[in-house]
Amino acid sequence: MKFTSLFIFLLVSKLAFPCQCPLTQLSKAECNKYDIIFRGTVLSVATCDNKPGVAIFKIKDLYKGALTEQFKVIFSCDEECSYQFKEGEEWIIYSNFKQIDRAKMDWCSRSRRLIKNVKEDYYTATHGNTYDEEFKFLQDSIGIHRLLKEQLTPEQLKNQLPTPNQQIIILICSLACVLLFYYLFNKFFK
Residue 51: pLDDT band with limits 50, 70, 90: confident
154 has pLDDT over 80: no
Q: Per-residue pLDDT tens for 90-134? A: 999 999 988 777 888 888 888 888 888 877 887 887 778 888 999
CATH fold for the domain made of 22-142: OB fold (Dihydrolipoamide Acetyltransferase, E2P) (2.40.50)
Return the pLDDT at 125.
75
12 has pLDDT over 50: no
Whether the model clears a pTM of 0.85, i.e. scores above it, the answer is: no
Q: Over the chain, what is the mean pLDDT?
A: 82
Cβ neighbors of 24 (< 8 A, separation 6 or more) are 30, 110, 127
Longest distance between any two alpha carbons in the chain, whole Å: 93
* Residue 67 three-state SS: coil
* Residue 47 three-state SS: coil
DSSP letter string over 108-169?
Answer: TSS-EE--SSGGG-HHHHHHSS-HHHHHHHIIIII-PBPPPSSPPPHHHHS--PPPHHHHHH
Spell out the domain ranges in the chain. 22-142
Q: How far apart are CA 37 and CA 138, in angstroms?
A: 9
Mean pLDDT confidence for 155-183: 87
